[in-house]
A and B are shown apart, each in its own frame.
Chain A
Amino acid sequence: MPQILGIDLGTTNSLIARLVDGKPRVIADPATGAALLPSVVAIAPDGAVHTGARAIELEPHLAARRDGAVSAVGFPGGAYGAVVRSVKRYMGLGGAELAPEDRARYAFADLSGPVVRFQIGDRTLTPPQISAELLRALKERAERATGDTVDRVVITVPAYFNDGQRQATKDAGRLAGLEVVRLVNEPTAAALAYGLGKLAEGKVAVYDFGGGTFDISILNVKGGIFEVLSTNGDTHLGGDDIDAAIVDWLLAGLPAEVIRDRHLWNSARSAAEAAKHHLTQATTAEITLEPRGHTIHKRLTRAELERLAEPLVARTITRCKLALADAKLAPAEIDAVVLVGGSTRMPIVRERVRELFAREPLCSIDPDEVVALGAAVQAGVLMGTQGDLLLLDVVALSLGIETMGGVMERLIHRNTTIPTSVTEMFTTAVDNQTHVDVHVVQGEREMAADCRSLARFKLGPLGAQPAGLPRIAVTFLIDANGILNVSARDERTGREHSVDVKPSYGLNDDEIERMLEEAIDLGEQDLEHRLLIVARNDAEQILAALAKQLGEYSHLIDAEERASVAVVAERLEAARMGEDRESISNLVEELNQLSTPFAGRIMDAAIKLALEKKSVEQVS
């Protein structure tokens, strides 16, 4: 049987690892030697898919039209591609659950349904489909590097992921043609990697601050048993949010329409990220942005960065205190603190963690790789090659049902070791009632409406019986993946009841089947053909933008300039029908340069107009 591999499907980067002679090793891309696969997926207008570094290269070509009026990456109805970053933030969520900043980042086909759908050209794609592209890329990488087939994997998820987010991760695996043997919580995986080398034993706190999520887990590591005592976290708190805070600082004072320009926002985000990385060693970083003939130049000091990051880091510390309280431990009782995730490279993060636990945190294993390495160890446990190791993880969120008056009745408390089950008896409230409706929710609030809806199901049909006579025992079982399974039994007849559980969010089996059928591997298409399409798309974009600008801002261009632009535009118009990619690309570049002063004047005019408007508002 082929080996089971471990995958860290991260917000910012993804990795795949395996055991070699009992030791976990990250599998690097055999072509480039890179261990990290940036979690970026580019979908070209023709449907071709690129991942990782290649997707980032394509970003400027695919990301947006060049007329500056665009506020999102994909467009309903248009033949435009998209570049999706941080897709993990969207996994398993319904449209109504999206944070405002996540909602503004992309164009969506439908935000009313149980699953988010990205609008990319005339296609719609769900987060599991996009994540599946990353998984497929990792699978191919591992197959090329090892020569073995990869069909079974362990995938890590944030400990604080809810049922829907876990299910979505499993769905992504299935769509990528992988059997997900186990989902493992990221901080637990990290503890495995450290514990294996006996680097961390006793009461261990794992502080996992990644690109998009934060987790804290407290474990008792003893004699090969890794028992999680408590966990806490925030699935929307990570390095992304620090970058966004830097972008806000960077663009502060600019008019809203300029800030809304996704091109500018994207380049500001990259610049912010680079500055943040630079400031882990240096104390100042210079940031220069040149949006259309305009220049923004600012100096970010480490002190300023720390002021921006402080409230976010403080939120992680609050979560740590809650986890300690749940484990009934004082910070001083922790024997080792382990740092995981790229954001723990920031000096301020280390400082705050050191303060809380009053000890030097461990970071001897690369914080970007440690989760994937732990996943590979867990894969070994599942294959039976890591004899005496065993993970006893917990469910991070309480599970309950909605009862009379909308109150949440807690059936399984948070931080209960999994797998676990509870059996609850249901009956009817009125004579001859044919069904009993059950609403399962997850969360810590008192009212069901304030918790997250997990699923609904109907018990029945029940024969005509007086109220209170039927006795149906429903077993809620949370498996080792942290996913709910429901079964029901009629206590009087002993018969198993079929339970048709309707998940409140996420994809159903039929949808996944259909997606599997539709998934034509376009990644195999001829590279040259794809590049031609990209170039044609670029040409179309710039020509459309230019035509629009020439109409709207004719007063900002003189006759001579207009004529020279028109000549190149005509040549490009002709070339884009042909097959010569190089000449299309050259002409796009030429036209771009030629029209840059014009575009700059348009931008300046927009800024001026906005500032005037603002000063009028201030006067009145």
Chain B
Amino acid sequence: MIECPSCGRRQHPRLLCESCAAPLGVELDCFAALGLSNKLALEPGALERVYHDLSRQIHPDRFAQAPVRARDASLRSTALLTRSYRTLRDPVTRGRYWLEMRGEKLSDDNKQVPPEIAEAVFEVQDQLACLRDAVRAGSPEVATMAGELEARRAALLSVMNGYQIALRGNFVLWDLGRSNAQELATELKLILSNIAYLTTLLRDVDFGLENLKAA
């Protein structure tokens, strides 16, 4: 139980005091901070509205003339709110955060390329290497190869889009109570690790294309 710094009411930790609606200044998980316990399929527009409405209520600008304790609580709660919004706004960081809350960390040091995109990874690296050599040698095929790389980029983006849809699908199933935590964790780990690899790959492709433009 904690005490509201504005009205003194004792209550369970939450963002706003149940009695006077002032910020309580306590730490919460990101979902609880935004009042979205256990929901994963979030609409960006709705999420933004919740964030803006809560910001209007608890931002330090609203407590500039309040006593020190209330001011301090507003600062802490707003820091929590902005951090929570930032984490949940993006479906990828949202999924990762959900895993972390359950102690399931998506291992960043996992060097093994997910089998589903392994082929694409090797092909892209090959393409980039060939392109570099061609540029260095001033080969006339640079333009064709650049075109191929552009096409590859589009293909990767559509694969990425597929994963994003799969991610959303899993979020919806969870919200409908149609999957259990274990199943969701397994699915999320797979999808999120593929997305992580794909993101790096797309960055490499973009970098290659940018260098080409610069040259």
Please give the residue numbers on chain A whose beta carbons come within 8 Å of chain B beta carbons, in ascending order. 1, 4, 181-182, 223, 225, 227, 378, 381-384, 388, 390-392, 416-422, 477-480
Contact = CB atoms under 8 A, between A and B. Distances in A.
Contacts of B78: 419, 480
B62 interface: yes
A390 B65 contact: no
Interface in B78-95: 78-80, 82-83, 85-86
Given A223-B52, A419-B78, A480-B75, A384 B62 contact: yes
A181 B64 CA distance: 7
25 contacts: A1-B65, A181-B64, A223-B52, A225-B55, A382-B61, A382-B65, A383-B64, A388-B56, A390-B62, A391-B61, A416-B86, A417-B82, A417-B85, A418-B82, A419-B60, A420-B79, A421-B79, A421-B80, A421-B83, A422-B83, A478-B79, A479-B60, A480-B60, A480-B61, A480-B75
A202 to B, nearest CB: 14
Nearest to B85: A417
A327 to B, nearest CB: 14
Interface of B: 52, 55-56, 59-62, 64-65, 75-76, 78-80, 82-83, 85-86
A384 B65 contact: yes
B52 A225 contact: yes
A542 B5 CA distance: 67
Contacts of B52: 223, 225, 227, 390
B20 to A, nearest CB: 16
A419 to B, nearest CB: 4
Contact of A390 (B59, B75, B79, B86): B59
Contacts of A479: 60, 75
Contacts of A417: 82, 85-86
Contacts of B60: 419, 479-480
A547 to B, nearest CB: 60
A419 B75 contact: yes
A390 B82 contact: no
A479 B6 CA distance: 20
A419 B85 CA distance: 12
Nearest to A222: B52
A1 B65 CA distance: 10
Nearest to A389: B61
Given A383-B65, A419-B79, A480-B75, 8 more contacts: A1-B65, A392-B55, A392-B59, A416-B86, A417-B86, A418-B82, A419-B82, A477-B76
A383 B63 CA distance: 9
Nearest to A220: B48
A223 B45 CA distance: 13
Nearest to B64: A382
Given A225-B55, A420-B83, A477 B75 contact: yes
B29 to A, nearest CB: 13
Question: Which of A383, A388, A417 is packed against the most chain B CB atoms within 10 Å?
Answer: A417
Contacts of B59: 390, 392, 480
Nearest to A392: B55
Given A416-B86, A419-B79, A479-B75, A390 B55 contact: yes
A250 B184 CA distance: 71
Nearest to A479: B75
- For the complex of A and B, the 4 pairs showing the least CB-CB separation, nearest first, are A421-B79, A382-B64, A417-B82, A419-B79
Contacts of A422: 83
A267 to B, nearest CB: 44
Question: Which of B56, B64, B75, B80 is packed against the most chain A CB atoms within 10 Å?
Answer: B64
Contacts of A392: 55, 59, 82
Nearest to A223: B52
A152 to B, nearest CB: 9
A383 B60 CA distance: 12
B70 to A, nearest CB: 14
Nearest to B59: A390
Contacts of B75: 419, 477, 479-480
Nearest to A485: B75
A381 B86 contact: no
A225 B55 CA distance: 9
Contacts of A391: 61
B84 to A, nearest CB: 10
Contacts of B55: 225, 390, 392
Nearest to B57: A390
A555 B56 CA distance: 78
A81 to B, nearest CB: 39
Contacts of B56: 225, 388, 390
A360 to B, nearest CB: 29
Contacts of A390: 52, 55-56, 59, 61-62
B61 A182 contact: yes
Contacts of B85: 417
Contacts of A182: 61, 64
A185 to B, nearest CB: 14
A421 B55 CA distance: 15
Nearest to B60: A480
Contacts of A384: 62, 65
A416 B52 CA distance: 15
B56 to A, nearest CB: 6
Contacts of B65: 1, 382-384
Contacts of B82: 392, 416-420
A480 B83 CA distance: 14
B140 to A, nearest CB: 32
Nearest to B78: A419
Contacts of A416: 82, 86
Nearest to A480: B60
A426 to B, nearest CB: 18
Contacts of A388: 56
A381 B65 CA distance: 11
A419 B65 CA distance: 17
Nearest to A4: B64
A378 B79 CA distance: 20
Contacts of A227: 52
A421 B79 CA distance: 5
A421 B61 contact: no
A378 B64 CA distance: 11
Contacts of A378: 61
A421 B64 contact: no
A156 B135 CA distance: 49
A422 B87 CA distance: 12
B172 to A, nearest CB: 25
Nearest to B27: A423
